[in-house]
Amino acid sequence: MPSRYLFSLSSYDVDVCFDRARRERKVSEVRIRSKHTRVCLSFSLSLTHSRTPAMLARPQAHTLVAVRICQLARSSSVQRRRQQHTATSSAEQHQRTAAGKSQHPTVEQVLEPYRYRLRQRVRWGEMDAFQHLNNVVFFRYAESARINFARHYAERAGLGRGFFDATGLGPILGATSCQYKAPVVYPDVLTVGVRVAEINAERGSWIEKYAVVSQQQQRLVATLDATIVFFDYSLRRRTPLPPALCEAFEHLAKPEVLIEEE
């Protein structure tokens, strides 16, 4: 039949319940209550002594129980810290997710810096085996927007087809890249915004930025950039930008928005 043994340590009251039936005493339960807090812990403890009550009365037994108390308290403290850290991390992640959703820019906010915009309808045949708009098609859309935008600044600067035929000077693509934000599927209408981000008149080049937004998804789906070089096709080398071209870029950066459809 189980019996109990009570004793006190410096900071804890210990209540031991053990079974007398076995020679190798296995204490079935040890309950510990802190004298300073409401913390109550319990664990099992094995003691090899034929007279367990007498053994428990010895300081060695108290030391053994005290060591186990420290181990259990440390383990419990670590577990509580982990739980608190997990709860804090989950709360922070939730806050970041909520903040990300609340700060997600609208289509109008994305396109606001882009004064020239070209709307293009997605065609069924432009999707690939992965059932989304093929990656190469984004470059084609940017190319269409770039050529249509060039027509406007060339006319404004007086650098149309006649200028090219007479001088052999004109723009050429130097480099381009794309960052994909989300897949696009048919049917959809994409708006490609174009703006001049940087001009280097002496080196004869400028950088154009493109933003592609989806009407169906109401979000940004891709961004592209292109380096355009003003090129002398006769000498096969770059040439400085004409002042009229720089003035045309400044004019096209004004608040008026030009929207076209292809």
Share of the chain above pLDDT 90, in %: 48
Q: Indicate if the pLDDT at residue 71 is higher than 90.
A: no
Contact between 185 and 125 (Cβ < 8 Å): no
From residue 99, give the alpha-carbon distance in Å to each of 105, 213, 218, 220, 221.
Answer: 12, 22, 19, 18, 20
Alpha-carbon distance of 94 to 38, in angstroms, equals 33
pLDDT in tens, 145-191: 999 999 999 988 888 888 888 899 999 999 999 999 999 999 999 99
3-class SS of residue 45? strand
pLDDT at 252 > cutoff 60 = yes
Task: Quote the pLDDT of residue 234.
Answer: 93
Q: If you ran DSSP here, which 8-state letter would residue 241 be given?
A: P
pLDDT surpasses 50 at 49:
no
Q: Please state the rounded mean pLDDT for residues 226-237.
A: 96
pLDDT in tens, 51-69: 444 545 555 555 555 556 5
CB 191 within 8 A of CB 212: yes
Q: What domains, with CATH codes, occur in the chain?
A: 2-99 (no CATH), 108-261 (3.10.129.10)
Give the model's pLDDT for residue 78: 59
